[in-house]
Amino acid sequence: MSTAPLSAGRYDGLIVGASLATLDAAQGYGEIADAALAWRDGRIAHIGPRSALGADPASLAATVIEADGWITPGLVDCHTHLVFAGDRAREFELRLQGASYEEIARAGGGIVSSVRATRAADEAELLRQSLPRARALLADGATTLEIKSGYGLDFDNERKMLRVARAVGDTLGVQVRTTYLAAHALPPEYAGRADDYIDAVCEWMPRLHAEGLIDAVDAFCEGIGFSPEQTRRVFEAARALGLPVKLHADQLSDLGGAALAASFDGLSADHVEHTSLDSVRAMAAHGTVAVLLPGAFHVLRETKLPPLDAFREHGVAMAVATDCNPGTSPLLSMRQAMQLSCTHFRLTPEEALRGATVHAARALGLADRGVLRVGARADFVQWRIGHPSELCYWLGGGLAQRVFAGGRLLVDTVD
């Protein structure tokens, strides 16, 4: 349990009465019943039982909230493709009729169809289409979002996507971590010239980084994406700029992507359904997080499970994210991602909650959130639940009563 004595001066806010799941320990929810949580200047300034306040709450804070239910850290969606135009609902129908992801992609659908729609939208239109998706994630408890580029596939449109991702955060008052994913698919104008396209991806990177638009670099290392050697070139360019890397790794086959990401001290390897034991060991050695994406697993009706027992045995942290995207994971709820991770991957509710908070923050290189402790960002959610396991039990429904990011109330559904 993380506590701190009451400090001089008034807090910006104080919430009392609810139980806290602090997650501030290696195991367990870190429960504090009938608790008090205070914040100042966007950071948690006090946490502990209400009985330790020793004074009338109204004398301690500018705003005092009497609450019930449970409070958890804010959810961190560490893998999304949230900025895009159009949708791919027709492809969903085709898959139900038997077409595979690879068949749709090779026929001109898949990622390239989203590229066409995204290129056709100007910046204002792209923001208009993206904001409702972000708001849906926030309404269900997300307080930090990662957003990738990768539907532009040329300099101007990748730049447009990254600018819109920044605008999403500015508009909604949450932190958005931007990931440069130009190595997502081969654009039509580079057909048959994948190496030339990788040259371009590496040439655009420092220009976009100089504009403050890139927090991390990603690639799609797969048979229908880019080879390990092409991915390595992208990562070397990122390393030259001091940018961290993450990777769409081993989703459809084992090309050693997770081990490649680990060899660059990657923040995360994502999907990882086909990851080998050797790659698991490499991830453990380099502290690379395994990001589980059960939405795509569910929509694609996959059957190959990630090596979950090996991740546990070797101490590889497992994060959970929505993979919100128009083709394979049109998922707008971190809670639903948590539920699917329990149903498909047999995570425990505690593992799923840690995956959506502590470990998801780590997958973004963020050490100041994902737990409730003094000094952490005041990112937290008050839920209409009697126990944290309910976050993974209920299929849908609005359980978030209040959502705070940096001490600012973003969502309030209390009657």
Q: Does 101 carry a binding-site annotation?
A: no
Q: Does 314 carry a binding-site annotation?
A: no
> Do the Cβ atoms of 119 and 157 come closer than 8 Å?
yes
Q: Does 298 carry a binding-site annotation?
A: no
Question: What CA dihedral angle connects 68, 135, 30 and 54, to 10 degrees?
Answer: -50
Q: Which two tokens stand for residue 260?
A: 């490649």
Q: What's the Cα-to-Cα distance from 392 to each of 210, 397, 414, rounded to whole Å?
A: 41, 11, 21
Sheet holding 75-77, edge to edge: 75-77, 142-148, 175-183, 216-221, 246-249, 268-271, 289-292, 318-320
- Give the whole-angstrom CA distance, residue 362 versus residue 105: 32
Q: Does 190 carry a binding-site annotation?
A: no
DSSP H or E run through 39: strand 35-40
The position carrying tokens 């019943």 is 33
- Give the whole-angstrom CA distance, residue 204 versus residue 360: 28
Q: Does 151 carry a binding-site annotation?
A: yes
Q: Sign of dihedral through CA atoms 194, 220, 108, 128? A: negative
Short-list 415, 332, 404, 318, CA closest to 71:
404
DSSP H or E run through 292: strand 289-292
Q: Does 170 carry a binding-site annotation?
A: no
Q: Does 41 carry a binding-site annotation?
A: no
Q: Does 248 carry a binding-site annotation?
A: yes
Q: Does 325 carry a binding-site annotation?
A: yes
* Cα 356 versus chain centre, distance: 8
**From the annotation, which residues make up the binding site for N-formimidoyl-L-glutamate?**
151, 325, 327
Query: Which residues are known binding-site members for Zn(2+)?
Result: 79, 81, 248, 323
User: Binding site for 4-imidazolone-5-propanoate: what residues are annotated?
Assistant: 88, 151, 184, 251, 328
Binding site members: 79, 81, 88, 151, 184, 248, 251, 323, 325, 327-328
